[in-house]
């Protein structure tokens, strides 16, 4: 079974409630109709009667719940929660109401925080920053996690590297700047994401332009420091570095450049040393190898919220909703 079909089957086995706040985008309705028909998740769309009539005309929304943010009996509960969480940041009831009405992503996150939904998918017509900022502010990280990061589940066709062509790539989406402890945490979260989504043991490569001391620079030291921290903090994770990409993936190169490493040549979880490398790397593989790139999926958040590419199709939204529902099952 293809990866995405397995995900949908998992999501259907224990249906979760996922919010789509982008009622201003027609792809939301196309996806919602498909998700409801396939029974992947219970879908909530946030929008006014006018927005639904204008953008959702012609779609069968009979299996979908609509929440009107101007006329919702639960609204005061969400305003109170917003103020409780953010009054120290200057949020008053007036500011909370205004922000929730202007930006439905806040509304969606508050529905999750109050237990009325299990996850959110957005970003078809909002930037990554605007999509994830409300989640960072309101839902926060899981206990013991300092930083949220973003991974892609890459499915490379006709590929015997990684786990039969399946890989986790991280961080490709969130942290513009990270030090060695953060990099080690990204590695641990990525290993967990690989195990949860692929159902196999992660082999984590901490990537660099250097393999085992072949080059010297502060950028390389950041990676070797992260490897040392990860070995100490997460001794059960099979992880090695610093490794160049070819040494991480190709057995003959791994044996040559990193002899004795259990990860070199067999890596399935690639941790990039910077956001530039991660973001460019996943797009290269997606475009040149015609890989499916599922994500960015956020890891480390207390509740699942996921971003979409602004160039996405309705089917991509269906896929990300399935991933979000599976994350909600695991939460």
- Residue closer to ligand ACO by CB (options 148, 328) is 148
- The CB-of-296 to ligand ACO minimum distance in angstroms stands at 5
Report the residue from 26, 28, 175, 244 that binds ligand ACO according to the rule CB under 6 A: 175
Residue 147 interacts with ligand ACO (CB under 6 A): yes or no = yes
Residue closer to ligand ACO, measured from CB, 81 or 133: 133
According to the binding rule CB under 6 A, does residue 125 interact with ligand ACO?
no
Q: Which residue in 12, 133, 195, 231 binds ligand ACO (CB under 6 A)? A: 133
- Say whether residue 128 binds ligand ACO (CB under 6 A): yes
Whether the Cβ atoms of residue 203 and residue 166 lie closer than 8 Å to each other: no
Which residue from 136, 161, 180, 256 is in contact with ligand ACO, where contact means CB under 6 A? 136
Give CA angle at 87 (81, 88), nearest 5°. 135
Of 8-16, 52-60, 169-177, 203-211, the segment contacting ligand ACO by CB under 6 A is 169-177
- Which window, 30-38, 129-137, 187-195, 258-266, contacts ligand ACO (CB under 6 A)? 129-137
φ, ψ for residue 241, nearest 5 deg: 170, 175
Q: Are 38 and 322 in contact (CB under 8 A)?
A: no
CA 266 to chain centre: 24
Query: Counting contacts by CB under 6 A, is residue 224 touching ligand ACO?
Result: no
Q: What is the total count of residues that contact ligand ACO (CB under 6 A)?
A: 17
Instruction: Report residue 196 as tokens.
Output: 């949860």
Least distance to ligand ACO, CB of residue 74, Å: 23
Phi, psi of 76 (to 5 degrees): -60, -35
Q: Least Å distance between CB 301 and ligand ACO?
A: 8
Q: Is 129 in the site for ligand ACO (CB under 6 A)?
A: yes
From candidates 36, 91, 112, 148, binder to ligand ACO by CB under 6 A? 148
Window 43-82: residues binding ligand ACO (CB under 6 A): none
Which member of 174, 198, 207, 267 binds ligand ACO (CB under 6 A)? 174
12 vs 81, beta carbon nearer ligand ACO: 81
Among residues 122, 279, 306, 324, the one that binds ligand ACO under rule CB under 6 A? 279
Site for ligand ACO in 292-321 (CB under 6 A): 296, 309
Residue 267: CB minimum distance to ligand ACO, A: 22
Q: Note whether 291 and 156 are within 8 A (CB).
A: yes
Among 20, 44, 173, 247, binds ligand ACO (CB under 6 A): 173
Q: Which residues bind ligand ACO (CB under 6 A)?
A: 89, 128-129, 132-133, 136-137, 141, 147-148, 173-176, 279, 296, 309
């Amino acid at each position: 079974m293809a990866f995405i079909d397995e995900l949908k089957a998992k999501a259907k086995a224990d249906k979760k409630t996922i919010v789509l706040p982008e009622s201003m985008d027609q792809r939301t309705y196309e996806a919602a109709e498909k998700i409801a028909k396939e029974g992947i998740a219970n879908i909530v769309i946030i929008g006014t009667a006018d927005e639904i009539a204008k953008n959702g005309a012609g779609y069968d929304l009979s299996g979908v719940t609509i929440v009107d943010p101007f006329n919702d009996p639960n609204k005061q509960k969400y305003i109170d929660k917003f103020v409780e969480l953010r009054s120290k940041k200057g949020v008053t009831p007036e500011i909370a109401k205004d922000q929730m009405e202007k930006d439905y992503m806040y509304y969606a996150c508050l529905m999750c925080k109050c237990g009325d939904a299990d996850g959110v998918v957005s970003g078809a017509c909002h930037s990554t920053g605007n999509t994830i900022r409300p989640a960072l502010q309101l839902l926060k990280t899981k206990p013991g996690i300092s930083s949220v990061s973003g991974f892609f589940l890459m499915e490379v066709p006709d590929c015997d590297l990684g786990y039969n062509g399946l890989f986790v790539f991280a961080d490709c989406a969130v942290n513009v700047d990270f030090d060695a402890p953060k990099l080690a945490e990204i590695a641990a979260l990525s290993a967990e994401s690989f195990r949860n989504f692929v159902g196999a043991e992660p082999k984590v490569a901490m990537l660099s332009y250097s393999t085992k001391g072949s080059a010297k620079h502060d950028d390389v030291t950041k990676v070797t420091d992260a490897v040392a921290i990860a070995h100490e903090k997460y001794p059960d994770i099979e992880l090695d570095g610093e490794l160049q990409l070819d040494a991480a993936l190709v057995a003959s190169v791994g044996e040559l450049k990193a002899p004795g490493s259990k990860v070199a040549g067999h890596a399935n979880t690639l941790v990039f040393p910077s956001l530039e490398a991660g973001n460019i790397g996943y797009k290269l593989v997606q475009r040149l190898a015609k890989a499916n790139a599922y994500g960015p999926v956020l890891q480390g958040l207390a509740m699942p919220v996921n971003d979409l590419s602004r160039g996405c199709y309705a089917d991509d939204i269906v896929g990300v909703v399935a991933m979000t529902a599976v994350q909600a099952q695991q939460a």
